[in-house]
Copies of this chain bind each other. A is one copy, B any other.
Amino acid sequence: MKIGIVGLGLIGGSLGLDLTAQGHQVVGVSRKAQTCQRAIARQAVRDASPDPAILGQCQVVFLCPPLGVMESTLRAIIPYLQPATVVTDVGSVKDWVVQTLSPLWPNFVGGHPMAGTAESGIEAAQRELFVGAAYVLTPTDTTPATAVLTVEQLIQPLGVRIYHCQPQEHDLAVAWISHLPVFASASLIAACQAEADGTVLHLAQALASSGFRDTSRVGGGNPELGLMMARYNRPALLRSLYAYRETLDQFIRQIEQQEWSALESHLQQTQKARPAFVKE
């Protein structure tokens, strides 16, 4: 199958590596000529160009740019697509993407492969990045069933666990388990940095170990990703943040009031609830 990948970063590049290895004819589009050359050299694509004309005859196109240029990217490639071409994206937010892109291209299927590393860019792309990862598809009532089937058949061999849901359901779920943790974690770093006085700050930095390291990891990550979550998943993120603040206040009240048995029971509940979210 001839496949196009627009945006040759970590996700686009990794998709290209796997799809090329499976025998597909993959072509890429990137604004930067150097990225195109590196993608070819790494065998993530057979050919690549800043010119979207390279996408002619593609049966499926993966849109892998940052969310902020998703719409303009689709508009720029539409003149080169055939009506039957299936377009799917890899954005981490789905409601806004599906509402924005579906009217522009009827054969559009919203998608979100939930894999990544701390690195970004074509050099960070790797084979089998998606093995065992969730890959969410968010078709709507107007999405052609054949387009969904085409995407499914293409991504299944990557080793992903495919989920179907409404775009809004996806956004609520990732707000809870992916976007809220970023802001809970960032608040931890910011509070420690801002409130600890000089002596205590240096002591805190010296004594911090695995507990702080793990809890602060996603809050110390790429600021652009956090910004995109907030911009494009704002209602769901705010809903989860309000609930989080309410839960935090419950813990604070229990500690203020010295309600030790209620606090212990609260902590027992969190210990019991966690395994359903964690496969380890």
What is the interface of chain A, defined by CB distance below 8 A to chain B? Answer: 114, 133-134, 136, 161, 163, 165, 169-170, 172-174, 176-178, 180-196, 199-200, 203-209, 211-224, 226-227, 230-231, 234, 237-252, 254-256, 258, 260, 263-264, 266-271, 273-278, 280
In the bound complex, residues from chain B placing their C-beta under 8 Å from that of A275 are 220
Given A114-B209, A277-B216, do A176 and B163 touch, yes or no (CB 8 Å)? no
| Tally of this chain's copies | 2
Given A181-B188, A186-B267, A187-B248, do A255 and B241 touch, yes or no (CB 8 Å)? yes
Chief secondary structure at chain A's binding surface: helix
In the bound complex, residues from chain B placing their C-beta under 8 Å from that of A187 are 184, 244, 247-248, 251
In the bound complex, residues from chain B placing their C-beta under 8 Å from that of A205 are 177, 276-277
Query: How far apart sit A226 and B211, CA to CA, in the bound complex (Å)?
Result: 13
In the bound complex, residues from chain B placing their C-beta under 8 Å from that of A280 are 213
Asked if B245 contacts A248 (CB within 8 A), the reply is yes
User: Of the candidates B181, B182, B251, which one forms a contact with A241 in the assembled complex, judged by CB atoms under 8 Å apart?
Assistant: B251
Interchain Cβ contacts under 8 Å between A and B, 19 examples:
A134-B206, A177-B209, A177-B212, A178-B208, A178-B212, A181-B216, A183-B248, A184-B248, A185-B215, A187-B244, A190-B250, A193-B269, A195-B239, A212-B277, A214-B215, A215-B218, A223-B271, A241-B251, A244-B248
